[in-house]
Structure 1
Amino acid sequence: MTTVPTIVVDADACPVKREIIDVARIWSIPVLMVASHDHRLEAETGVQIMQVDRSDQSVDLYISNHISKGDIVVTQDFGLATIVLSRGAIALSPRGQQYDDSNIDYLMERRHELAKRRRGGGKTKGPKAMTSEDRVCFQQKLTKVLRSWQENDEP
């Protein structure tokens, strides 16, 4: 029998924590929420909470040092997604986009270009507000990933 994946959440600004917990319960998959001490998270059955210091990359470093191949990481951070992919884990955005080798380079380049524009005094738009459709899309994608894991890895 293969190892059960853990859903690891970059929880500082994750808008789909409840959706993750609900899907994980259906599949009996453990969840690890990682956030800085600035964010208050409540432990629940099947959900482990790890609070780290508030320095800039603490959550990312904790996640990158504690994931295993096959884990599922939910993050909005393209840099963390790159590390996750290099470790053999699956990376999903809170809107249900799966980061992979076909899109991560473009996303990182776009992030760099927007940061350059902001440093030069330009303005950029932030992400649009989460909708109920975004939440459903995320749940469907997470369920699809878990179904694929079950079909391909379990005996």
Structure 2
Amino acid sequence: MMALYIDADACPVKAEAEAVTTRYKTQMFLVSNGGLRPSQNPLVEMIYVPDGPDVADMWIADRAGPGDVVVTGDIPLAAKCVEAGAEVLRHNGERFTQANVREQLAMRDLMTDLRAADPFRQGGGKAFSKADRARFRQALDTALRRSKPSD
């Protein structure tokens, strides 16, 4: 059975994901350390994991596999899920694939090292936009359509 797993603690597109998965009648798991408002949607299951480093990531990585879709901004989690055969999307709709996830993991590690070497270096990306939300909805729709088993 196909499922959508969302690394939900910092996910800005939970509502968009719920709308798309409802249309496809797909089970959606929102995985977090808590603090999220439960959904009344019977297709949405809230999974609250204990506090701790990467506990939510491990829960998702242990379950996601071929035919599933994962939404995360966490590159190490994305790498594990891609390796397991899941389709993985960033919050802005960009896909993690076998072809790009290792390069992105290496870039993440490089940027971590650069920030550690210069404590005054201020990181921060661009603001999340309406266009990012729209791109995510389209990418999720495509991923679910591609992952949906034939009837």
TM-score (norm 1): 0.90
The SS at the match of 2:10 is: coil
Q: Is 1:114–1:124's contact at 8 Å kept on the other side of the alignment?
A: no
Q: How many residues align?
A: 149
Mapped partners of 2:44, 2:94: distance in 1: 23
1:105-142: per-residue Cα shift (whole Å, max 9, x none)? Answer: 11111101100011112515222211001000000011
Q: Which residue of 2 aligns with 1:16?
A: 13
1:90 is aligned to 2:91 = no
1:90-111: per-residue Cα shift (whole Å, max 9, x none)? Answer: 1100000110011111111110
Gaps of 5+ in 2: none
> Of 37, 41, 50, which residue of structure 1 is paired with 2:37?
41
State the 1:149 CA deviation: 2.7
Q: Which residue of 2 aligns with 1:112?
A: 109
Mapped partners of 1:41, 1:86: distance in 2: 31
Q: Which of 115-124 and 7-16 deviates more? A: 115-124
State the 1:32 CA deviation: 0.3
1:33-87: per-residue Cα shift (whole Å, max 9, x none)? Answer: 00013x2231321100001112111111111112232110000001000000111
1:31 is aligned to 2:28 = yes
Q: How does 1:71-90 map to 2 (within 5 A)?
A: 71-90=68-87
Moved over 3 A (4+): none
The SS at the match of 2:110 is: helix
Q: Which residue of 2 aligns with 1:139?
A: 137
TM-score (norm 2): 0.93
Mapped partners of 1:20, 1:35: distance in 2: 15
State the 1:144 CA deviation: 1.0
Gaps of 5+ in 1: none
Q: Which residue of 2 aligns with 1:154?
A: 150
The SS at the match of 2:47 is: strand
The SS at the match of 2:77 is: helix
